[in-house]
């Protein structure tokens, strides 16, 4: 018998496949990040046993703990939550950091990565809604960060990440996803190298199918795989 986590993973993968096909895309072009924040390592190991290889955490400390305790298996770890500049060096333990939201942080990460000799992939978190309480860079400031990224020595920016205002229905999220894709297309048309904008990380448990229809290449799914968190994030 597959575990709950294994069967929910199968269901999520099937939904990713169906959403991709509904717009003529291939599920192979979409990476599923299992968001394991607040869940114990045992849950991560179950998902790993079911074939899941990429996991996301939103706190540096909690992520580092799990990274340290799972060196016997081969996981790609994504940091999804806000990163303070003074934790840049520690965050290099992650394989990807999706929450880069300032030139300062980018350069701090680059300097640390150059010194350490290994560099995570970076995504720029974009704040489309101008929400005061959320992190992320306003779209108008993104081109300047991408310029700085092109000059980095060690780290590579590979795309954009979006957390839209919490939607009540999946369709409510669609305009935000579309807006991020259109911005990406506009920046590429304006001369930003395509490899800096290859990935669009958007879509969570409640709306990943809509995000895929709008061009997501990375979806970040927590509760639909692991169950409810019961803890306020
Ligand atoms: C928690 C979290 C997710 C996953 O949310 P679910 O609704 O549980 O799928 C995705 N992205 C980020 C940045 C998160 O913090």
For the stretch 31-59, pLDDT in tens is 999 999 999 999 999 999 999 999 999 99
Nearest CA to ligand 1 atom 10: 220
Does any domain span residue 33? yes
- Asked if residue 216 belongs to a domain, the reply is yes
Minimum CA distance residue for ligand 1 atom 15? 58
Q: How many domains does the chain have?
A: 1
**Tens of pLDDT along 107-156?**
999 999 999 988 999 999 999 998 777 799 999 999 999 999 999 999 99
Domain presence at residue 8: yes
DSSP-based three-state secondary structure for 160: strand
Give the model's pLDDT for residue 132. Answer: 72
Cβ(79) to ligand 1 under 6 A?
no
Name the residue with the closest Cα to ligand 1, atom 12.
80
Domain of 47, CATH number, reads 3.20.20.10
What is the total residue count of the chain? 233
Residue 190 has pLDDT above 90, yes or no: yes
What's the token pair of residue 168? 């009540």
Residue 197 lies in a domain: yes
Domain assignment present for residue 233? The answer is no
The answer to the question of residue 73 being in a domain is yes
Residue 231 in any domain: the answer is no
CA separation, residue 207 to residues 2, 20, 52, 62, 145 (Å): 25, 13, 20, 26, 28
Q: How far is the CA of 190 from the centre of ligand 1 (A)?
A: 31
Q: What integer pLDDT is reported at residue 1 of this predicted model?
A: 60
Structural domain for 213, as ranges: 4-226
Sign of CA dihedral 86, 193, 216, 134: positive
Residue nearest atom 13 in ligand 1 by C-alpha distance: 80
**Domain annotation covers residue 132:** yes
The response to whether residue 37 sits with its C-beta less than 6 Å from ligand 1 reads: yes
Q: Decide whether any atom of ligand 1 lies within 6 Å of the 83 Cβ.
A: no
């Amino acid at each position: 018998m597959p575990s709950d986590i294994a069967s929910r993973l199968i269901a999520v993968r099937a939904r990713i496949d169906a959403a991709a096909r509904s717009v003529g895309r291939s599920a192979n072009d979409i990476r599923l990040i299992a968001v394991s924040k607040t869940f114990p390592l045992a849950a991560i190991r179950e998902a790993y046993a079911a074939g899941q290889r990429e996991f996301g955490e939103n706190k540096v400390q909690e992520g580092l703990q799990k990274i340290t305790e799972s060196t016997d298996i081969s996981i790609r770890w994504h940091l999804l939550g806000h990163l303070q500049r003074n934790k840049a060096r520690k965050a290099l333990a992650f394989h990807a950091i999706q929450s880069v939201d300032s030139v300062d942080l980018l350069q701090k990460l680059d300097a640390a990565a150059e010194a350490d000799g290994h560099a995570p992939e970076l995504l720029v978190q974009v704040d489309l809604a101008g929400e005061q309480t959320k992190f992320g860079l306003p779209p108008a400031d993104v081109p300047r960060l991408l310029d700085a990224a092109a000059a980095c020595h060690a780290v590579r920016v590979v795309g954009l990440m979006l957390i839209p205002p919490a939607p009540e229905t999946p369709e409510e999220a669609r305009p935000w996803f579309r807006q991020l894709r259109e911005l990406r297309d506009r920046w590429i048309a304006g001369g930003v190298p395509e490899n800096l904008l290859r990935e669009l990380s958007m879509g969570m448990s409640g709306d990943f199918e809509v995000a895929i229809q709008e061009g997501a290449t990375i979806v970040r799914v927590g509760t639909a795989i692991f169950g409810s968190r019961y803890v306020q994030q």
